[in-house]
């Protein structure tokens, strides 16, 4: 596979403030890569280095195989970008703003631009300063998407969008990927990244702590298993199984966390008379929180 | 079941810490004071400093009683030709001289500050989004506006107190001849006049901004300030100006010259009433309108071809055009008026040997017996105005980055130096437009007066060159840091003016005077061009743009 984005020990420091530290990433063609991390972890800094808006203190970043500091214009020609926070020209309408960005790119497919405006339900006749937060975000999204870029770099793309527009956005994203394009998006909404991304990278205090497929990351976190017995709860039988932890018994219900294969738990449970067996896969959110050393959200909190 | 909506339970008493109060975080009033501290320091420091320096200058330039008598007779003989300097009263004293030569200049500084502060105090918070947070706190909109206005009134009061104190101190510390001392009453009278008239124009901007937005409010108030100042100055020469001059406090308070020992306290009353009314209209209008709506009355949009959607140069021109037209209108009217009256004033001077001698002594390098020479003298003031115009245009250029939109612009196939240079060229086009409009106005004025129009029209190019040179300085600074580019340009304008003004008065070395770019621009209104100055302007403009582009290429964006 071709690496569309590649970073090698990418470091950016802002004087005494930490930015990112020795970030190694590789994003392949045609994948949707989710970049996750809490506020201030270094997501936006990484994105801005990729676009050569800021320069690395050390290390290198390549986009389309081109070093970002060497020829950023060639990179930008093939990229669509939505910043996490942006302002545009207050006095221009949304339509004029999109026209200006189209002109900066030397023109584009007007029909596709019009279809995006229609799908995002954007009124292009209003001045930018009169738009709501969500509508400003729509203008930014259309500006990023309208030239059908080979690589989309989106910083918190769904911020401010209503659920219907979010659905539209993910549909457009899928179409873009189906055309062989690549998406690099940062998000705080983990369920969203879980739904949209092939792989995710988690950044913590400027350092990449994990990069893997969403499925594989889920496997790292404990399954939450709940067994309801018709008779007494054989807690000791389960505590002995490797990978089982946090075993608690309450009346006829036994709860436990299971890391790794669940087969041994199923085999032990089969020896007893069961009224119910519930095993819930960890969400990306739980995986994410686990990576940050915090308590994963309990099953009951999700109304399972 | 009936539900009673009672008072919310009282929270535990909350005391605002001393630290919060000290850092201006204790109230809307305190926060506004905190936000205006830099402007206050600059305004108070500039005016207080100038007051002391010019007071010292007169004692050095005119150290003897005889020289003062001569100065007074010269100033008095100017009569109506004194123009914007106002009436010459007791010019032989330190206070009278400062009042005559610099009294209106202080007003311009204070009033421009008040216009900018009061037109922007609510609009800038609305634009930044912080106004919604403030409005959602347990304060009514009327109180928010009142606290903000009160904060500006406090800052203005402190400023004029400092100016008044500086005047009194100058009299007490530097007086060399009888009559030089400036009594407390005179200092108070001047400070009161300065504050009230400045706040009148600030209040006008504040009231209009609630209906038409910040730009229109500030533009109209600024225009009223300059128009009132000029029309009152030349009302005696051009009687047609009188009805218009009477619309502003410049005319109402024309006889109140406290530093010169002439008081007209009742003239301050209508100014105070009008100022209070304008501020009240602004507060009430804000209280009644929607939060976040920056203007209640829509202003017309530019025609589509002028909005600049084709590329960075066009966009830069399109963004700058409203500001350019506003400056062009104000400066154009000034040049038109100056050109229109310059011939009659020059003829008056030429007919009077005494007047000719007077001007010859005060302005030895100007031949004011010709319309062009007189116009050149008047146009010297316009260098300050075009300098500030350049600063505002540079501020607009920098706003691509300071507002955050440069990030999206540079994610397109547009290299950083290319953006800096192309959008900078847009600023130069705006300066060309401004210069062309001024040239047309000066040509119309000169033609109306029956004097040579082409020479002063060509001479206007010097103003454009000066503005372009300053913009070049701004671009060069912007290549390092856009957020301070406009401030540096404004500082250069003020420093240039002060060097040009004070070097002769303080008998400073010639090389020091030569640091002012305006001292190298010759007298283009009479066709005398200084090639060195022209080249210096062009080099500054071109090199500044190149340095700006080079700087942008090297540094991080948006930091």
On the question of pLDDT at B548 being above 50, the answer is: yes
Asked if residue A92 has pLDDT above 60, the reply is yes
pLDDT of residue B81: 57
pLDDT in tens, B300-341: 777 888 888 889 999 999 999 988 998 898 889 888 888 888
Grouping H, G, I as helix, E, B as strand and the rest as coil, residue A223 is strand
Is the complex ipTM more than 0.95? no
Residue of B nearest to A92 (CA): B307
In the predicted structure, residue B6 carries a pLDDT above the cut 60: no
Residues whose CB is less than 8 angstroms from the CB of residue B530 and which lie 6 or more positions away in sequence, other chains included: B520, B521, B522
> Is A89 in Cβ contact with B404 (below 8 Å)?
no
Residue B494 scores a pLDDT above 80 = yes
Using left for φ > 0, alpha for ψ between -120 and 50, and beta otherwise, residue A247 falls in beta
pLDDT of residue B39: 85
Interface mutation target, options A99, A100, A108, chain B, most CBs of B under 10 Å? A100
Q: Is the pLDDT of residue A299 over 50?
A: no
pLDDT at B28 over 90: no
What pLDDT is recorded for position B361?
65
From edge to edge, which strands make up the β-sheet containing A17-28?
A17-28, A3-14, A58-63, A66-67
Q: Please tell me the least confidently modeled range out of A168-172, B441-445, B554-558.
A: B554-558
The tally of CA atoms less than 13 A away on the side-chain side of residue B469 is 24
The mean pLDDT value of chain B amounts to 86
Residue with tokens 């995986």: A287
- Residues facing residue A225 across a β-bridge: A256, A279
Ordered domains of chain A (ranges, CATH) = 5-217 (3.40.50.300), 223-281 (3.30.70)
**Interface test mutation site (partner B, options A95, A101, A104, A142, max chain B beta carbons within 10 A):** A104
At residue B430 the predicted structure's pLDDT band, cuts being 50, 70 and 90, is very high
pLDDT tens for each residue of B343-356: 877 887 777 776 67
Q: Which among B428, B365, B401, B389 is positioned nearest to B112, based on CA atoms?
A: B389
- If you search the block for the tokens 């991080």, which residue do you land on? B556
Note whether A101 contacts B: Cβ–Cβ < 8 A. yes
pLDDT band for B297, please (50, 70, 90 cuts).
Answer: low
Any idea which of A160-169, A180-189, B98-107 has the lowest mean pLDDT? B98-107
Confidence of residue A298 (pLDDT cuts 50, 70, 90): very low
Token pair 């915090």 is at which residue? A294
A99 touches chain B (CB under 8 A): yes
Cβ–Cβ below 8 Å for A73 and B415? yes
Closest CA to B198 of B270, B261, B272: B272
**Rounded to whole angstroms, how far apart are CA atoms A129 and A140?**
13
Tell me whether residues B301 and A91 touch, CB distance under 8 A.
yes
**B411, B416, B422, best to mutate vs chain A, most A CBs in 10 Å:** B411
- Measure B403 CA to nearest chain A CA, in Å: 7
In Å, how far from its chain's centre is CA B399?
A: 20
Report residue B449's pLDDT band, with 50, 70 and 90 as the boundaries: confident
Percent of chain A with pLDDT over 70: 90
pLDDT mean over A55-79: 94
pLDDT band at B15 (very low <50, low <70, confident <90, very high): confident
Hey, is the C-beta of A205 within 8 angstroms of any chain B C-beta?
no
**Would you state the pLDDT for residue B374?**
82
Give just the sign of the alpha carbon dihedral A157, A163, A169, A175: positive
- pLDDT, residue A302, reads 34
Higher pLDDT, B212 or B492: B492
Inter-chain residue contact B410 with A76, CB threshold 8 Å: yes
pLDDT at residue B8 in the model: 56
pTM, two decimal places: 0.79
Burial B269-299 (b: 16+ CB within 10 A, else e): eebbebbeebbebbbebbeeeeeeebbeeee
Looking at chain B, the whole-number percentage of residues with pLDDT higher than 70 is 92
- Backbone dihedral angles phi then psi of residue B55, each to the nearest 5 degrees: -70, -40
Q: How far apart are CA A72 and CA A53, in angstroms?
A: 9
Residue in A74, A76, A153 nearest the CB of B412: A76
Please give the Cα distance from B351 to B369 (Å, whole number). Answer: 9
Q: How confident is the model at residue B12 (pLDDT cuts 50, 70, 90)?
A: low
DSSP letter for each residue of A12-49: EEETTEEEEEEEEEEEETT-EEEEE--TTSSHHHHHHH
Q: Which of B43-52, B62-71, B82-91, B402-411 is least confident?
A: B82-91
Query: What pLDDT score was predicted for residue B85?
Result: 65
Average pLDDT, integer, range B149-177 = 93
Neighbours of B406 (CB within 10 A): 24
Smallest CA–CA distance, residue B501 to chain A, in Å, is 40
Give the pLDDT band (50/70/90) at residue A301.
very low
Vertex B207, ends B206 and B210: CA angle to 5°? 90
Name the closest residue on chain A to residue B307, using Cα atoms.
A92
**pLDDT value of residue B326:** 86
């Amino acid at each position: 596979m071709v690496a569309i984005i590649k970073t090698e020990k990418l470091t950016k420091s802002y004087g005494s403030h930490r930015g990112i530290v020795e970030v190694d990433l590789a994003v392949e063609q045609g994948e949707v890569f989710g970049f996750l991390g809490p506020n201030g972890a270094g997501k936006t800094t990484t994105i801005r280095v990729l676009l050569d808006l800021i320069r690395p203190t050390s290390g290198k970043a390549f986009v389309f195989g081109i070093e970002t500091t060497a020829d950023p214009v060639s990179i930008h020609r093939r990229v669509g970008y939505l910043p996490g926070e942006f302002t545009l020209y207050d006095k221009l309408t949304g339509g004029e703003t999109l026209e200006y960005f189209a002109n900066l790119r030397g023109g584009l497919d007007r029909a596709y631009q019009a279809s995006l405006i229609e799908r995002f339900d954007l009124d292009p006749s209003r001045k930018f300063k009169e738009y709501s937060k969500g509508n400003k975000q729509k203008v930014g999204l259309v500006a990023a998407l309208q030239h059908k870029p080979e690589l989309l770099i989106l910083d918190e793309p769904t911020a401010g969008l209503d659920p219907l527009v979010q659905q539209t956005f993910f549909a457009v994203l899928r179409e873009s990927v189906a055309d062989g394009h690549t998406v690099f998006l940062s998000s705080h909404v983990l369920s969203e990244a879980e739904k949209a991304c092939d792989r995710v990278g988690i950044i913590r205090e400027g350092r990449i702590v994990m990069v893997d497929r969403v499925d594989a990351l889920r496997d790292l976190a404990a399954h939450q298993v709940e067994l309801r017995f018709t008779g007494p709860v054989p807690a000791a039988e389960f505590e002995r199984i490797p990978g089982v932890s946090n075993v608690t018994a309450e009346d006829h219900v036994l709860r436990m966390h299971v890391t790794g294969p669940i087969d041994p738990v199923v085999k032990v449970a089969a020896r007893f008379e069961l009224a119910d067996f519930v095993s819930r896969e960890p969400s990306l959110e739980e995986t994410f929180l686990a990576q940050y050393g915090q308590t994963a959200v309990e099953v009951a909190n999700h109304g399972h | 079941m009936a539900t009673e909506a009672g008072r919310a339970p009282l929270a535990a008493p909350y005391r605002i810490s001393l630290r919060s109060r000290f850092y201006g975080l204790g109230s809307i009033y305190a926060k506004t004071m905190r936000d205006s501290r830099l402007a206050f320091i600059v305004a108070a420091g500039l005016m207080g400093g100038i007051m002391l320096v010019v007071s010292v200058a007169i004692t050095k330039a005119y150290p003897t009683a005889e020289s003062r008598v001569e100065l007074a007779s010269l100033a008095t003989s100017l009569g109506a030709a004194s123009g914007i300097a106002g009436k010459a009263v007791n010019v032989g004293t330190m206070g009278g001289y400062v009042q005559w030569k610099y009294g209106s200049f202080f007003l311009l500084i204070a009033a421009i500050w008040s216009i900018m502060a009061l037109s922007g105090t609510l609009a800038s918070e609305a634009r930044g989004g912080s106004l919604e947070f403030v409005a959602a706190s347990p304060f009514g909109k009327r109180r928010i506006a009142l606290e903000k206005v009160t904060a500006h009134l406090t800052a203005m009061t402190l400023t004029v107190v400092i100016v008044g104190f500086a005047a009194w101190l100058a009299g007490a510390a530097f007086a060399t001849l009888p009559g030089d001392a400036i009594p407390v009453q005179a200092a108070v009278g001047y400070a009161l006049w300065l504050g009230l008239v400045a706040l009148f124009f600030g209040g006008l901007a504040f009231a209009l901004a609630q209906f038409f937005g910040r730009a229109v409010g500030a533009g109209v108030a600024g225009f009223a300030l300059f128009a009132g100042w000029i029309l009152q100055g030349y009302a005696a020469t051009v009687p047609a100006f009188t009805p218009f001059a009477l619309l502003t406090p410049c005319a109402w308070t024309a006889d109140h010259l406290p530093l010169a020992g002439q008081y007209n306290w009742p003239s301050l009353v209508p100014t105070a009433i009008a100022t209070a009314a304008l501020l009240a209209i602004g507060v009430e209008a804000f209280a009644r309108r929607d939060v976040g709506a920056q203007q209640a009355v829509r202003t017309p949009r530019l025609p589509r071809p002028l909005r600049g959607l084709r590329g960075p140069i066009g966009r830069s021109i399109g963004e700058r055009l409203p500001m350019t037209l506003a400056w062009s209108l104000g400066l154009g009217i000034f040049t038109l008026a100056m050109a229109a009256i310059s011939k009659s004033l020059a003829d008056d001077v030429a007919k009077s040997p005494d007047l000719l001698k007077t001007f010859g002594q005060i302005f030895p390098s100007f031949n004011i017996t010709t319309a062009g020479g007189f116009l050149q003298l008047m146009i010297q003031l316009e260098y300050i105005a075009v300098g500030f115009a350049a600063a505002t245009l540079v501020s607009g250029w920098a706003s691509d980055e300071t507002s955050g939109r440069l990030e999206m612009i540079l994610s397109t196939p547009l290299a950083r130096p290319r953006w800096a240079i192309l959008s900078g060229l847009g600023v130069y086009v705006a300066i060309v437009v401004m210069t062309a409009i001024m040239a047309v106005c000066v040509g119309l004025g000169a033609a109306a007066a029956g004097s040579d129009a082409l020479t002063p029209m060509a001479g206007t190019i010097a103003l454009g060159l000066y503005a372009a040179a300053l913009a070049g300085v701004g671009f060069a600074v912007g290549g390092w840091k856009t957020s301070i580019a406009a401030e540096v340009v404004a500082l250069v304008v003020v420093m240039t003016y002060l060097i040009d003004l004070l070097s002769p008065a303080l008998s400073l070395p010639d090389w020091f005077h030569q640091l002012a770019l305006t001292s190298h621009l010759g007298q283009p209104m009479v066709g005398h061009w200084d090639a060195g100055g022209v080249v210096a302007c062009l080099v500054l403009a071109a090199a500044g743009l190149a340095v700006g582009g080079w700087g942008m290429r090297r540094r991080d964006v948006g930091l």
